[in-house]
Amino acid sequence: MSLKHIVSRENPRFKALKKLCQSGRERRREGLALLDGMHLIETFAARGGSIESLIVSDSGALRGEIAGYLAALPPTAEVLQFADPLFADLAAVDTPSGIMALIRQPRPAHMLDQEADAVLLDGVQDPGNVGSILRSAAAAGFRQVLLSADCAQVWSPKTLRAGMGAHFALDLFESSDLCAFLAGYRGVSLVTMPAASASLFTTDLRRPLAWIFGSEGGGVRPETVAAAQLQLSIPMPGSAESLNAAAAAAVCLFETVRQRLP
């Protein structure tokens, strides 16, 4: 492997990575993303992903799992080794993992399919919720996810961390026109609404579905609700008034799985 040791915050590579961590605009412009931790890196590699550069901390390079991974790299692999304080500046967590990978943001492997299951996110702005919904979608066997332009970025460090590798099992379409997709959708589109008379648990979910989930505060936009074919409620006999976006999505997606079991 080709190893470069970096100790100065004035180093151009450090500055570029720091900007990438902090700026969604920079990630979009460069088409790059940072994977933080061995789990994400190994999941990406297992699905055939190609790593541009590896970034390790001085202390991380000495840890057993990371050291073993580095030792097995081909001679052409680029590794940037940062002093611990510099690596901590890049990390999005209080306890840095010790290793990151710089990658090109994967493009969807398939075209949008208006006859297949889909998950539509309308203004879900919390990256933790977006990542959790992606994780539930991948686990439930949904392949395509469309996100409106004001959703949290799918390739931000926080969304990637919450997704736990689900990103690499999905076709992700950011800045999508949800209403345009729904206008041509040939399955059944559904949105959850507290006042809806039809219950999630008594509705037939065995057909191709487009599930729509909205923002944490305002829910799904009125124009998106109007474009959906069915409005359903999630029965909540307890005292809570609502579920957060990620919890509601998990309930709906796995009720779909339950109904489709043989």
* pLDDT one digit per residue (tens) for the chain, 262 residues: 788 999 999 999 999 999 999 899 999 999 999 999 999 999 999 999 999 999 999 999 999 999 999 999 988 899 999 999 999 999 878 889 999 999 999 999 999 999 999 999 999 999 999 999 999 999 999 999 999 999 999 999 999 999 999 999 999 999 999 999 999 999 999 999 988 999 999 999 999 999 999 987 889 999 999 999 999 999 998 887 788 999 999 999 999 999 999 9
32-36 and 99-104: which strand pairing?
Answer: antiparallel
211, 249 contact by CB (below 8 A) = yes
φ, ψ for residue 95, nearest 5 deg: -110, 95
State the pLDDT at residue 104: 96
State the pLDDT at residue 241: 76
State the pLDDT at residue 243: 87
Catalogue the long-range contacts made by 51-54 (C-beta closer than 8 Å, 24 or more residues apart): 51/77, 51/101, 51/102, 51/103, 52/78, 52/101, 52/102, 52/103, 52/104, 53/78, 53/79, 53/80, 53/101, 53/102, 54/78, 54/79, 54/80, 54/99, 54/100, 54/101, 54/102
95, 86 contact by CB (below 8 A) = no
Q: Which residues of 70-100 are buried (b: 16+ CB within 10 A; e: fewer)?
A: beeeeeeebbbbbbeebbebbbbeeebbbbb
State the pLDDT at residue 181: 98
Give the CA distances from residue 134 to residues 41, 124, 183, 221, 260, in Å, rounded to whole numbers and listed in that order. 17, 12, 23, 20, 20
State the pLDDT at residue 43: 96
Kindly report, residue by residue over 199-244, the tens digit of the pLDDT: 999 999 999 999 999 987 889 999 999 999 999 999 998 887 788 9
State the pLDDT at residue 95: 87
State the pLDDT at residue 216: 77
Instruction: Copy the structure tokens of residue 204.
Output: 């037939």
53 strand-pairing partners: 102
State the pLDDT at residue 42: 95
232 strand-pairing partners: 192, 198
